[in-house]
């Protein structure tokens, strides 16, 4: 397969557009890509493929990394090439090349067919591909306001260094901050008759503040409460309407990096002298900035069909959610309040695209309904296993030179259906801990037993916040935990969290995914104290 | 094409240097050829070959530095990437920590890293090796999922002060998970070598199969503090998390477990049990490694822990200058001394304890104490009066490798094993540890 292409796009530090911007032009460029795609499809069919798809991809990224008063790194990357996947003699084959010429594409298609035919010789069951109608020539673009790649680097550097200065002036000892921007320009075509041109944008500004108490030798950190998003640079232009008040300001659709840095600096100082938690059972009130990761590990991963079937047994793991539990139609995954939805369309989310990487228009579907397991996540060659006639549209490859496979869509907990504020939830809690931000995380290979930390922890006593705690982690069994869910705040509190780097597969691939929720309460969860002395 | 010889790489990098107009220029060239095969449910699922060749150019004016990369190698492309790095460098803010490039260094070759037979592994041979694994799993009435990957690669660097370094290496990694049909037993094995002739997928799968069938009927025991015997695979995964802490700057800044109250670091302190000896050595015949760092510093044998005392910490060139000490590259390959005791000897000498075959999903809980959490899996057994009595259900631990290496009761024989998440090879003995902390039970198999 082809070489990974990484080179610097032609744009200056002060914001001239990348030369790759030509690819954003949907006119002649899309027409040219269609010609290239047709070469691949024709060559694959001529060699005996019963199905073929081709992805011509240009992947741009930009990192700006700072520490205290200096820039540590500015890195721009670009990867361009073509990946071709075929079915021949009933088996999959894949090949890729960084040479995007008609001749090289034809040869790559032939290699893909040869690989498929070789794999067919040791095949146990032929691929059963769910039917998919062709869409003709269509396009989709992340609805951004400002392309992060067109914002001058100086503006980004100035923002990060100004935020760092705020932390240092506020008494922090160290601060790291960074902005990461991603742009996937993907052209997909298949023998089903689809020619899909997509332009996908993602952004992740973040930081970490450290406070050291030299005398005691103790130190604490506080991460940013930002989220990676499927948005442009406008994410960094929060208004008051985007802010959620309370013990600390959190953010809905857009983010105020300067304000959060100021708050983090104050909180990291508080953390140093916070009370160490008394281990025991607590009612946990989990903010969406924290709960997204618990949803990711305990709901999203165990409902991936390839895990359920055993295809990830040697790497990502299997799942306690088996097919018989789905078919029983009465497996009570969580309490009746728990409604979990899979989604590839939500605006601003990392998973949002118009079409997945095997040409299926994206959709939304139920995973857990009124607490009961009702579905998994499946792509075209898995749909038949669930008795479905079409894919869920959640197939993804991290780059042109990686083969696409089933990846997690956004998996989100639906907001409470009856009006409930976080303040009222706290008022109704006698002995609890309110957790904000994601921290340490670990879960077993079948997704039963997990442990999570957080960024900040507030003790709740008799319906009131009694002060900050530290050294907190909670352990639970997934099903017991979700069945202990007793309250979910309404949609006014609903927010997204997420990650750029969800890993699966061998060789490993990364997937970007969001998880939404409102603040949620879980009763009687086991909390441990994590402080140790060396 | 992806594996250039020392002479070919030197000629290409010299051409890059000739294009440079910056005060300093540094270029790094690397390439690899990787073949892989993946299987699950006793059948091959995917297979592939990936070839990469990349050039990174870093240009400097005073304290201003920037870099650019490319994967095209005609003269026009080489000049283009140099000009891009120079353009970015002129516009970059000053980095006060920027250190000048090194001049020529005394870097030794290490030919033991590259084994021709590993580089020559064909898709057919990979399929045959996986076929043996699947056969062993079927014979044990188990389903196997696994991954075999071989890589050959080279790295070269040159700078405008006359430094040139080159090395090439091969590696082959294999891992397999075997499970029974009703999901009540699971076993695992993983191995990594430079030389494919040392890789026995059949023997490894038999070990995994034995663990899988031996883990059926696991009983629950109460979580708490137990004496544990960690097989090398388990010990390697928990220990490799701690080596990032051997960094003088983080320690001096007060933000890792090597920091001491009052501002000093723990260099010279007895931090571990006196049985603990850990070092790096790129010339160790069983774990050959690279002999130079990304900055072109030579890497030689370096002791990190001797008889439990912290003997060295890594000093970056910048931090070494600030502290007026010699720069020390951080831990490269990890080698921990063992004894002649076999795993069976360790079990025989255990009154009550737990044998841990493997850990899973280890994550940092608290950087202050290096507290980690994770779980046992793929064969966890209760030991009583020197014998394995029965398999037990998996448990979550919360433990620090720093505390763990203070509680070393006995060490076993050193073995080349791999970090199951990083995929890198280490030389680590089995170890018997007192008071290892388990905090909850898991239903996972």
Q: What is the largest CA-CA distance in chain A?
A: 74
Subunit contact B67:A75, Cβ cutoff 8 A: yes
Chain B residue numbers touching A312 (CB-CB < 8 A): 40, 145
A2 touches chain B (CB under 8 A): yes
A208 touches chain B (CB under 8 A): no
A310 touches chain B (CB under 8 A): yes
Chain B residue numbers touching A526 (CB-CB < 8 A): 440
A9 touches chain B (CB under 8 A): no
Within 10 Å of residue A162's Cβ, how many Cβ atoms? 13
Subunit contact B444:A219, Cβ cutoff 8 A: no
- Partner residue opposite B69 with nearest CB, options A8, A216, A443: A8
Subunit contact B43:A534, Cβ cutoff 8 A: no
Pairing of strands B352-366, B225-230: parallel
The nearest CA of chain A is from the CA of B43 a distance in Å of: 7
The nearest CA of chain B is from the CA of A443 a distance in Å of: 7
- Partner residue opposite A94 with nearest CB, options B48, B54, B374: B48
Distance, C-alpha A180 to centroid of its chain: 14
Subunit contact B361:A442, Cβ cutoff 8 A: yes
A121 touches chain B (CB under 8 A): no
The single residue listed with the structure tokens 């914002």 is A151
What percentage of chain A exceeds 70 in pLDDT? 95
Per-residue pLDDT of chain A (534 residues; tens, 9 = 90+): 222 222 222 222 222 223 333 334 344 489 999 999 999 999 999 999 999 999 999 989 888 999 999 988 887 778 888 999 999 999 998 888 888 899 999 999 999 999 888 878 878 889 999 999 999 999 999 999 999 999 998 899 999 999 999 999 999 999 999 999 999 999 999 999 999 999 999 999 999 999 999 888 899 999 999 999 999 999 999 999 999 999 999 999 999 999 999 999 999 999 999 999 999 999 999 999 999 999 999 999 999 999 999 999 999 999 999 999 999 999 999 999 999 999 999 999 999 999 999 999 999 999 999 999 999 999 999 999 999 999 999 999 999 989 999 999 999 999 999 999 999 999 999 999 999 999 999 999 999 999 999 999 999 999 999 999 999 999 999 999 999 999 999 999 999 999 999 999 999 999 999 999 999 999 999 999 999 998
- In angstroms, rounded to a whole number, what is the distance separating the alpha carbons of residues A469 and B92? 42
A169 touches chain B (CB under 8 A): no
The nearest CA of chain B is from the CA of A246 a distance in Å of: 26
Pairing of strands A340-343, B43-61: unpaired
Q: What per-residue string of b and e applies to A6-33 under the rule 16 or more CB within 10 Å gives b?
A: bbbbbbebeeeebebbebbeeeeebeeb
Q: What is the pLDDT of residue B1?
A: 54
Chain A residue numbers touching B143 (CB-CB < 8 A): 310, 313
Q: What is the pLDDT of residue A72?
A: 85
Tell which A residues from 290 to 309 touch B, by Cβ distance under 8 Å: 309
| Low-confidence residues of chain B: pLDDT under 50 | none
Subunit contact B444:A449, Cβ cutoff 8 A: yes
- Partner residue opposite B93 with nearest CB, options A71, A219, A441: A71
- Partner residue opposite B177 with nearest CB, options A124, A313, A441: A313
- Partner residue opposite A506 with nearest CB, options B38, B50, B72: B38
The nearest CA of chain B is from the CA of A492 a distance in Å of: 32
- In angstroms, rounded to a whole number, what is the distance separating the alpha carbons of residues B186 and B391? 11
Three-state SS for A315-359 is: CCCCCCCCHHHHHHCCCECCCCCCCEEEECCCCECCCCCCECCCC
- Please give the angle made by the CA atoms of A241, A242 and A248, to the nearest 5 degrees: 110
A399 touches chain B (CB under 8 A): no
The nearest CA of chain A is from the CA of B375 a distance in Å of: 7
The nearest CA of chain A is from the CA of B147 a distance in Å of: 7
- Ordered structural domains, chain B, with CATH: 6-212 (3.30.2290.10), 217-240+338-441 (no CATH)
Contact in structure between B78 and B86 (CB atoms under 8 Å): no
A466 touches chain B (CB under 8 A): no
A10 touches chain B (CB under 8 A): yes
Q: Report the residue of A119, A281, A506 to disrupt the B interface, i.e. the one with the largest count of B CBs within 10 Å.
A: A506
- Ordered structural domains, chain A, with CATH: 19-143+184-203 (3.30.2290.10), 280-529 (no CATH)
pLDDT digits (tens, 9 = 90+) for A483-530: 999 999 999 999 999 999 999 999 999 999 999 999 999 999 999 999
The single residue listed with the structure tokens 């893909």 is A112
Strand, helix or coil for residue A391: coil
- In this prediction the ipTM stands at 0.94
Subunit contact B367:A401, Cβ cutoff 8 A: no
Three-state SS for chain B is: CCCCCHHHHHHHHHHHHHHCCCCEEEEEEEEEEEEEEEEECCEEEEEEEEEEEEEEEEEEECCEEEEEEECCCCHHHHHHHHHHHHHHHHHCCCCCCCCCCCCCCCCCCCHHHCCHHHHCCCHHHHHHHHHHHHHHHHHCCCEEEEEEEEEEEEEEEEECCCCEEEEEEEEEEEEEEEECCCCCCEEEEEEEECCHHHCCHHHHHHHHHHHHHHCCCCECCCCCEEEEEECHHHHHHHHCCCHHHCEHHHHHCCCCCCECCCCCECCCCECCCCCCCEEECCCCCCCCCCCECCCCCECCCEEEEECCEECCCEECHHHHHHHCCCCECCCCCCEECCCCCCHHHHHHCCCEEEEEEEEEEEEEEECCCCEEEEEEEEEEEEEECCEEEEEECCEEEEECHHHHCCCEEEEEEEEEEECCCCCCEEEEEEEEEEEEEEEEECCCC
pTM here? 0.95
- Partner residue opposite A314 with nearest CB, options B84, B176, B261: B176
The H or E element that residue A285 is part of is strand A280-286
Pairing of strands A431-436, A280-286: parallel
- Partner residue opposite A530 with nearest CB, options B365, B396, B403: B365
β-sheet bridge partners, residue B335: B279, B427
Searching chain B, which residue's CA lies closest to the CA of residue A1? B50
Chain A residue numbers touching B375 (CB-CB < 8 A): 442, 444-445, 449
B291: its two tokens: 């002999």
Query: Nearest-CA neighbor of A403 among A20, A35, A115, A50?
Result: A115
Searching chain A, which residue's CA lies closest to the CA of residue B98? A72
Chain B residue numbers touching A310 (CB-CB < 8 A): 40-41, 143, 145, 179
């Amino acid at each position: 397969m082809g070489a990974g292409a990484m080179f610097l796009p032609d744009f200056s530090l002060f914001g001239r557009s990348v030369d790759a911007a030509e690819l954003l032009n949907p006119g002649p460029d899309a027409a040219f890509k269609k010609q290239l795609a047709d070469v691949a499809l024709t060559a694959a069919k001529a060699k005996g493929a019963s199905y073929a798809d081709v992805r011509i991809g240009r992947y741009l990224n930009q990192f700006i990394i700072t520490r205290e008063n200096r820039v540590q790194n500015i890195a721009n990357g670009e990867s361009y090439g073509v990946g071709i996947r075929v079915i021949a003699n009933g088996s999959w084959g894949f090949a890729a090349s960084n040479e995007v010429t008609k001749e090289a594409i034809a040869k790559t298609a032939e290699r893909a067919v040869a690989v498929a035919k070789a794999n067919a010789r040791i095949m146990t069951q032929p691929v059963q591909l769910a039917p998919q109608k062709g869409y003709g020539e269509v396009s989709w673009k992340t609805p951004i306001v400002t392309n992060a790649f067109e914002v001058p680097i100086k503006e980004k550097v100035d923002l990060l260094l100004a935020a760092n200065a705020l932390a240092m002036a506020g008494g922090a000892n160290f601060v790291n901050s960074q902005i990461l921007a991603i742009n996937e320009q993907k052209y997909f075509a298949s023998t089903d008759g689809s020619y899909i041109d997509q332009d996908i944008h993602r952004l992740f500004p973040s930081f970490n503040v450290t406070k050291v108490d030299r005398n005691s030798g103790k130190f604490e950190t506080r991460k940013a409460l930002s989220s990676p998003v499927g948005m442009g640079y406008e994410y960094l232009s929060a208004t008051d309407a985007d802010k959620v008040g309370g013990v600390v300001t959190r953010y809905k659709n857009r983010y105020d990096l300067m304000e959060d840095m100021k708050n983090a600096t104050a909180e990291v100082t508080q953390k140093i002298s916070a009370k160490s938690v008394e281990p025991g059972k607590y009612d946990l009130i989990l903010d969406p900035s924290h709960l997204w990761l618990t949803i990711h590990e305990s709901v999203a991963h165990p409902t991936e069909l390839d895990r359920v079937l055993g295809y990830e047994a040697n790497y990502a793991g299997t799942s306690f959610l088996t097919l018989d539990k789905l078919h029983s139609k009465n497996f009570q995954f969580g309490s009746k309040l728990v409604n979990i939805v899979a989604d590839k369309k939500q605006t601003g989310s990392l998973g949002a695209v118009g079409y997945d990487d095997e040409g299926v228009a994206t959709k939304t579907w139920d995973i857990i309904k009124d607490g009961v397991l009702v579905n998994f996540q499946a792509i075209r060659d898995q749909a038949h296993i669930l008795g479905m006639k079409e894919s869920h549209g959640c197939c993804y490859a991290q780059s042109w030179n990686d083969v696409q496979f089933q990846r997690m869509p956004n998996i989100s907990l639906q907001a409470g259906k009856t009006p409930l504020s976080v303040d009222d939830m706290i008022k109704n809690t006698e002995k609890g801990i309110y957790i904000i931000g994601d921290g340490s995380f670990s879960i077993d290979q079948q997704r039963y037993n997990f442990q999570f930390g957080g960024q900040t922890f507030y003790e709740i006593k008799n319906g009131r916040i009694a002060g900050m705690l530290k050294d907190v982690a909670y352990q639970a069994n997934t099903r017991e935990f979700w069945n202990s869910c007793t309250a979910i705040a309404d949609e006014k509190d609903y927010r997204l969290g997420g990650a750029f780097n969800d890993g699966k597969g061998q060789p490993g691939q990364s997937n970007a995914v969001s998880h939404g929720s409102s603040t949620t309460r879980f009763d009687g969860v086991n909390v441990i104290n994590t402080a140790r002395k060396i | 094409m992806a594996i250039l010889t020392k002479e070919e790489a030197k000629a290409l990098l010299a051409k890059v240097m000739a294009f440079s107009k910056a005060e300093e220029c540094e270029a790094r060239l690397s390439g690899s050829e990787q073949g892989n095969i993946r299987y699950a449910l006793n059948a091959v699922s995917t297979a592939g070959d990936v070839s990469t060749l990349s050039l990174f150019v870093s240009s400097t004016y005073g304290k201003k530095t920037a870099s650019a990369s490319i994967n095209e190698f005609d003269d026009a492309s080489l000049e283009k990437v140099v000009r891009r790095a120079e353009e970015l460098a002129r516009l970059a803010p000053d980095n006060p920590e920027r250190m000048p490039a090194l001049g020529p260094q005394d870097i030794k070759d290490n030919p033991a890293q590259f084994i021709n037979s590993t580089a020559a592994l064909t898709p057919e041979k990979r399929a045959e090796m996986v076929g043996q694994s699947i056969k062993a799993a079927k014979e044990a009435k188990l389903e196997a999922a696994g991954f075999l990957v071989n890589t050959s690669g080279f790295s070269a660097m040159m700078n405008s002060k006359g430094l040139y370094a080159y090395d090439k290496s091969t590696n082959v990694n294999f891992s397999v998970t075997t499970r029974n049909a009703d999901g009540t037993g699971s076993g695992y094995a993983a191995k990594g070598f430079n030389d494919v002739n040392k890789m026995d997928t059949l023997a490894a799968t038999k070990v995994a199969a034995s663990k899988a069938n031996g883990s059926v009927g696991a009983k629950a025991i109460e979580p708490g503090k137990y004496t544990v015997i960690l097989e090398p695979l388990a010990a390697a995964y928990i220990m490799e998390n701690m080596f990032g802490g051997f960094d003088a700057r983080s320690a001096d800044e007060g933000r890792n477990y090597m920091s001491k109250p009052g501002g000093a670091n723990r260099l010279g302190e007895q931090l571990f049990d006196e049985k603990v000896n850990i070092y790096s050595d790129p010339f160790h015949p069983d774990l050959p490694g690279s002999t130079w760092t990304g900055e072109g510093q030579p890497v030689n044998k370096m002791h990190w822990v001797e008889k439990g005392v912290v003997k060295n910490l890594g000093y970056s060139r910048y931090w070494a200058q600030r502290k007026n000490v010699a720069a020390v590259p951080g831990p490269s390959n990890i080698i921990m001394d063992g004894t002649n005791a076999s795993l069976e000897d360790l079990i025989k000498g255990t009154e009550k304890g737990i044998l841990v075959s493997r850990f899973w999903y280890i994550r940092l809980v608290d950087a202050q104490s290096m507290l980690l959490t994770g779980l046992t899996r793929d064969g966890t057994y209760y030991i009583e009066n020197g014998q394995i009595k029965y398999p037990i259900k998996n448990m979550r631990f919360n433990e620090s490798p720093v505390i763990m290496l203070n509680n070393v009761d006995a060490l076993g024989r050193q073995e080349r094993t791999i970090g199951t998440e990083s995929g890198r090879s280490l030389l680590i003995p089995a170890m018997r540890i007192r008071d290892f902390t388990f905090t909850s039970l898991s239903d996972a198999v």
